[in-house]
A and B are shown apart, each in its own frame.
Chain A
Amino acid sequence: MKGVEDGADRALPVDMTIPPEQIERESQQLDAVWRGKPGLWGWLTNVDHKTLGKRYLVTAFLMFIAGGIEAALMRAQLARPENSLIGPDRYNQLFTVHGTTMMFLFAVPIMTAMGVYFVPLMIGARSVAFPRLNAFGYWNYVVAVVFLYVSLFANTGPDTGWFAYVPLSGPQYSPGHRVDVWAQVVTFTEISALTAAVNIIVTSFKMRAPGMSLNRIPIFVWAQIVVAFMILFAMPAVATASTLMLATDRAVSMHWFNPAEGGDALLWQHIFWFFGHPEVYIIFLPAMGMVTPIVETFCRRRVFGYTAIVMANITTAFFAFGLWVHHMFATPIPELGQSLFTAASMIIAIPTGIQIFCWLVTMWSSRPSLRVPMLFILGFLFTFVNGGITGVMLASVAFDKQAHDTFFVVAHLHYVLLGGGVMPLFGAFYFWFPKITGRSLGETLGKWHFWLFVIGVNVTFFPMHILGLEGMPRRVYTYLAVTGWGRLNLIATIGAVTIATSVLLFVINAIKSLRSSTVAEANPWQASGLEWSVASPPPSYNFLNAPVVESRHPLWDTSLDLPVLTGFRTDRREVLVTTTFAAHPDARHAAPSDSIWPLYLALCMAVVFIGSIFSPYFVLGGLGLALIGMAGWGWTESVPQGRERVATPAVIPERT
């Protein structure tokens, strides 16, 4: 290979620039092979990571609104004592579907969405490693969304809480199909998350731009990698608990959780929280990954402590798997175990603190430009630190036993998730919206959105700390006036209205911007990442040629010209494969064409898992149908595409 065989770390020879007419010609050729087909069929068969990323984003944001409406209904019910707006049964469904939606159908998928859309663009790749798998994951997610909400409107919404504790969720205490819906919704979301995780890991490890060695990977991508690994180990736990245990206990009379036959209710809690606690970090770490590029861009300086931040991410991921028992302090856990998990729960604050200090140092003495993305980061720092501190409080067994199952926990988790997850996410929306859509969000409406959101979150959830300390249990549909909780609940409800107003302003802002004729530049914020080197929105093939990276901040450090590698075929979809550590160019792989089979197979999964609620025969039927899909998928992927260069361990012959 010419020019790069010595590795991209060395100075690259300036050979020539590419003539504009060649750029024009190759752009058209590549667009012809990468662009999805028009029409409904093209829409259903599209496997482009940007298209799917956008669909994930829109679907997940709709779920945020749906979950928000459920929250608003609950707040309306709790606004005053002995309210009769919503009855207990509907209320049970509402808080269960709210939690399930926000955790499984909003928070994880929207972080996945950001990864699926931006990881290839940030590492200089044309695609994710497995585009069809990506589409398969998305369609599974859509099945989960449709299934949950159709069930809710059919009065079959799950009603045992988002963590579906047994024995309440078991066959004896929850007859009917409400819990089955929950178990299978979880199954679909796990399939979706796992496929995305594999995609992000392989894409980040094997498709980075030449020269992007491990120590040059953007921190956002590092966060996505770490989280993808967490998903590999966390999601199988909940899939095991819900699909292989709870669903089988309910459908075919297994006894995993039936103490009368040697089963164990605590087993559910162990396995669920072995997933459930890392889940918090699966939501939170990608958001932390969004903070760094925003802070860098608006402070006009490189982040302090790149290595420390990356190591903090990895350390957090490890610790996250060692704290699940702090959700179970109210169960008979041995004292030594309690002490260990208390210590672990406190220790995890350290790597998080390291990241926060790194951002503070970066901001220190800089003059941050207080545009909306940066405002949301400041809101995040304030709100999240408060949530983090109550987390450390809850790590103490004595305190936890007092606060267990009260509104104090509700306050804590919403401070962490809204402060640590949603605020950076909104900042990221404002930051990357121009890249995704080619339009910029309005600054004035954005500031209104920011202030109302931050105030709303604090007004809603701060009173809940006090309510919890006063003993108000979570998941009650009403309370007596004599408790004296009415005033604080009313304040919380006013806060919820404020949040709803702020989100409405964001939606109006987005619609207004999309209709605007002002087109965003390629790099409107003068940011440093590779994603800003391509047009807004990016072309179908992302990068005309493979960019070569010489530093962590390619657009800040490469003064005039951007080095690229040429020589790709333009008659088929082709991606560059690089080595895992140093990212040396290693191969050109053909990327698969658009396909209907991912959608077809996701529908087969729907037959299998939804059908399993009613009869095992659906499982057999669905698997039979899936055979056709697997054959179709394989058949359409194994098509000769002209002359290939083969690298076996020994020789590189040419074959067709």
Chain B
Amino acid sequence: MKVPRIAGDVAELPTVTFGHRSLMWWGTLGFMVIEGWTTALLVAAYLYLRQNYETWPPLRTPYPSLLIPSINLAILLFSIIPAKMTERCAKQLDEDGVKRWLVIMSAVTIPTVVIRWWELWALNTRWDSTAYGSAAWTVVGFHTSLLLLDVIDTVGLTLFYHVKRMPVKSFSDTADNSFYWYFTVGIWIPVYLVVYVGPRVF
């Protein structure tokens, strides 16, 4: 058995870190890769099915409506602001700021999930009508699950911050929640373009 020799001391290292210095940030990044890749595969499958049709959408299927999806896209893009402010306050360990901006972030992001219901119907087809409908519903539906997940996380953090004494490390988790939200919004842009705008183009 070898004798342990003290080569240094870690007592002064930080115990709460942010961004890439935090384990949770890396875990979040891992799930972004998984979910981003799943979205990419679904979009690829959607485009693969395109080759089976003369027209896209298929005959007697109207184009997707653009109004509601565009409104929701605008809200999603706008929601980056409260998400960014929440992240900034978290990184400054500003608890009051975090509490305030989490409420605002929740208020802005909850409607995006609600509107998503009408956004699905704005596809103007049903999931069981054609393969086109199945693909469009699945791509948008999968993104909805990501959206829902992060809204639940945001609302949960908001409630926690207002009802209990949170540990310092929750500031880091809060910043990571914003990080995930940027991904959720960012990945929606190509999906929106392919599913709602795309049929008018190709």
Q: Which A residues are within 8 Å of any B CB, using their own CB?
A: 1-4, 8, 12-18, 23, 129-130, 133, 194, 197-198, 201-202, 205-207, 210, 232-233, 235-237, 239-240, 244-245, 248-249, 252-256, 258-259, 261-264, 267, 270-271, 274, 522, 533, 544-546, 548, 555, 558, 560-568, 574, 576-577, 580, 585-590, 627, 630-631, 634-635, 638-641, 644-649, 652-653, 655-656
Contact = CB atoms under 8 A, between A and B. Distances in A.
B27 A130 contact: yes
Nearest to B18: A648
A240 B135 CA distance: 12
B1 A522 contact: yes
Interface stretch (B30-38, B109-117, B193-201): B30-38
A254 B127 contact: yes
B135 A256 contact: yes
A544 B58 CA distance: 66
Nearest to A23: B4
B24 to A, nearest CB: 8
Given A133-B27, A232-B30, A655-B93, A252 B18 contact: no
Contact of A576 (B10, B42, B138, B157): B10
A263 B127 CA distance: 12
Interface string B120-134: 000000011111111
Give me the 10 closest cross-chain CB pairs, A-B, nearest first.
A3-B8, A567-B11, A647-B14, A563-B7, A198-B30, A4-B8, A254-B134, A262-B131, A567-B9, A263-B131
A261 B130 CA distance: 5
Given A236-B41, A259-B52, 8 more contacts: A2-B12, A239-B38, A561-B4, A563-B4, A564-B4, A565-B7, A565-B10, A577-B23
A197 to B, nearest CB: 7
B10 A567 contact: yes
Contacts of B5: 14-18, 561-564
B84 interface: no
Contacts of A255: 128-131, 133-134
**Range class of the B interface residue count:** 35 or more
28 contacts: A8-B7, A15-B6, A23-B4, A194-B34, A198-B31, A201-B26, A206-B26, A232-B30, A236-B34, A236-B38, A244-B38, A248-B138, A252-B127, A255-B128, A256-B45, A256-B49, A259-B52, A264-B131, A271-B41, A561-B2, A565-B6, A566-B6, A576-B13, A585-B8, A634-B156, A645-B15, A646-B93, A648-B18
B124 to A, nearest CB: 16
A240 B17 contact: no
A566 B10 contact: yes
B91 interface: yes
A297 to B, nearest CB: 17
A16 B7 CA distance: 8
B170 interface: yes
Interface stretch (B67-75, B97-105, B159-167): B159-167
A212 to B, nearest CB: 14
B9 A1 contact: yes
Contacts of A206: 23, 26
A565 to B, nearest CB: 5
B169 A590 contact: yes
B142 A545 contact: no
B48 to A, nearest CB: 6
A274 B137 CA distance: 23
A586 B156 CA distance: 30
A384 B164 CA distance: 58
Interface in B48-71: 48-49, 52-53, 58
A329 B33 CA distance: 30
B8 A12 contact: yes
Nearest to A229: B33
A585 B93 contact: no
B2 A129 contact: no
Nearest to A639: B167
B38 to A, nearest CB: 4
B45 A645 contact: no
Contacts of A207: 23
Given A198-B30, A264-B52, A576-B10, A562 B41 contact: no
Given A255-B128, A262-B58, A635-B160, A586 B4 contact: no
B6 A564 contact: yes
A117 B197 CA distance: 48
Contacts of A254: 127-128, 131, 134, 137-138
Given A18-B4, A566-B9, A645 B128 contact: no
B14, B26, B35, B138, most chain A CB atoms within 10 A: B14
A261 B53 CA distance: 10
Given A562-B5, A653-B93, A655-B93, A577 B42 contact: no
B165 A640 contact: yes
B152 interface: yes
B8 A644 contact: no
Given A561-B4, A634-B160, A586 B21 contact: yes
A197 B34 CA distance: 10
Interface string B160-184: 1000111111110100000000000
B8 A565 contact: yes
Nearest to A544: B4
A641 B167 contact: yes
Contacts of B156: 630-631, 634
